[in-house]
Chain A
Amino acid sequence: MNKNPFLKTLGLTVCIGLLSLTGCTTVKEYQKSRINDAEMELSARKSEKFEQNFYLYREGAAGANGGKSGGGCGCN
């Protein structure tokens, strides 16, 4: 049985994603002092901006990290 690897990957990650959402507790706004800390921000740091560019240029496996995923050559 040779399934499409893209569909297999997508299906697996959706399952893992849904499973990871179970077991969450409701957190009220006033309980989010740690969640709202600047170091907890759910994105790459602004100071990582140019690091992400060179990953995209120097590694063929690009994307899914909030960085630029298209546009611009980056070949030199």
Chain B
Amino acid sequence: MKKICISVGVLLSLLQAGYGQSTTQPAYEKRKLKVEEINLVSSYYQQDGNNSAVTGGIGTEKLTDFAQSFDLVLKTTDQRNRQHTIAFDFNIDHYTSASSDNIDPLTVSSASRSDTHIYPSLSWSVHNDNNRTTKGLAFSYSTEYDYKSYGINLNFAKASTDNNREVSLKAGAFFDTWKAILPPELRPDGYGSGAHGDRDPIDYKPRNSYNLSVSVSQVINKRMQLLFTVEPSFQQGLLSTPFHRIYFQDGGETVEKLPGTRLKLPVSFRLHYFMGDRVVVRTFYRYYIDDWGMQAHTANLEVPVKLTSFISVSPFYRFSHQTAVRYFAPYEQHKQTEKYYTSDYDISGFNSQFIGIGFRTAPPGGLFGIGHWQSVELRFGHYSRTTGMVANSLTLLAKIK
């Protein structure tokens, strides 16, 4: 009897200790801001085609782009046990473009031939585990020879009690400025070329974009989850490109002219399914409609296959179909009586396909024995569209933790 009493007493005291653990908040520990991860992305892209908008819908679209990205994610926990994440993202593109070289063939003055595009961003978010919310704020900047952009983004997300559903809201605004470089034969007297050292004046035009994004992610079962997103956006300002030429049926020439506003409504689904032990099926579908008359469907399928627990190969295929905006016509097909006109094949009607393969390895001890080097990904894709344009891209990602 004595043994039973002692045993019950010990069990009760353990139970009490157990309750004590579950109701007490963990004591605050001062935690330094520490590096969560670093991602380095390098990409090479090249394209060719024969429908350049710079020369009115004809001529070379040859372009090469070498892009680098560095993103750094820092984390810390505050006195109220909220998790703070600070992310710095720096991107740089260097491209050579044969078509923009034709803006001003005499002086090669403008956004031509080659340019460097720099776009850093800084974001801060706070995650509170108690009420399952995340709030964030981000700033971005982008600069090219003839274009500057300042952006601000706000986001809020709330997860369900069981963490199987999350609703998130994002709102963003971009305030951009165009340097209105015109083709030389269409410049008024005294209008500058936009080249370095040219003191003749040139116009600067605004373009503002406002985006809203509402998305819901949901765990369907142990192997399947989906994401549903509605992302309306509104743009206003100079939406045409000042140095895109237009050739009319009667031989006349001018620059592209498009409405001063554009309302876009893309909606999308992403459904991911873990099939068996080695195969993941990643699907994506998007429907798009805008008030310029364009409608589009895009579908993407990617199937990562885990060859071992730390090596996977991911073939992918993307198909997209879009209708032309109502202001589009090819070279020398526009009439002088039209109000708006463009010969830019990026907003014409076409089907496009992108096919390729990705490779990912993430060994448990780090890559080449370097513990912090968590994973590496290599991705190659071939893009083609029914306008005749083809492109290839190669991307390398290194993740450090």
Count of inter-chain pairs, beta carbons less than 8 A: 224
Return the contact of A61 from the options B226, B296, B396 (Cβ within 8 A): B296
Q: Which residues of A, 1-30, contact B by the 8 Å Cβ criterion?
A: 5-6, 9-10, 13-14, 16-17, 20-21, 23-29
Contact present for B320 and A59 (CB under 8 Å):
yes
Compute how far the CA of A17 lies from the CA of B216 in the bound complex, rounded to whole angstroms. Answer: 9
Q: How many B residues have CB within 8 A of the partner chain? A: 106
Decide yes or no whether B288 CB sits under 8 A from chain A.
yes
B95 close to A65 (CB less than 8 A): no
Q: Are B288 and A61 in contact (CB under 8 A)?
A: yes
Q: Is A9 in contact with B289, judged by CB distance below 8 angstroms?
A: yes
> Are A64 and B267 in contact, CB atoms less than 8 angstroms apart?
yes
Which of A5, A43, A54, A70 is within 8 Å of B391, CB to CB?
A54
Contact A60 B294, CB 8 Å, known A47-B397, A70-B174: yes
Inter-chain contacts of B379 with A (CB < 8 A): 45, 47-48, 51
Q: Which residue of A lies closest to B291 (CB)?
A: A6
Q: Please, which residue of chain B has its CB at the minimum distance from the CB of A31?
A: B222
B interface: dominant SS: strand
Q: Which A-chain residue is minimally distant from B162 (CB atoms)?
A: A26
Contact A13 B164 (CB under 8 A): no
13 contacts between A and B (CB under 8 A): A6-B265, A17-B216, A20-B226, A20-B269, A21-B165, A27-B221, A40-B225, A50-B393, A58-B389, A64-B229, A71-B149, A72-B119, A76-B115
Residues of B within 8 A of A (CB): 39, 41, 43, 45, 47, 53, 63, 65, 67, 69, 71, 95, 97, 99-100, 111, 115, 117, 119, 140, 142, 144, 146-147, 149-151, 162-165, 172, 174, 176, 178, 209-211, 213, 216-223, 225-231, 233, 235, 241, 244, 263-270, 272, 274, 280, 282, 284, 286-291, 294-296, 298, 304, 306, 312, 314, 320, 322, 325, 346-347, 352, 354, 358, 362, 377, 379, 381, 383, 385, 389, 391, 393, 395-397, 399
Which A residues are closer than 8 A to B by beta carbons? 5-6, 9-10, 13-14, 16-17, 20-21, 23-29, 31-32, 34-35, 37-43, 45-51, 53-55, 57-65, 69-73, 75-76
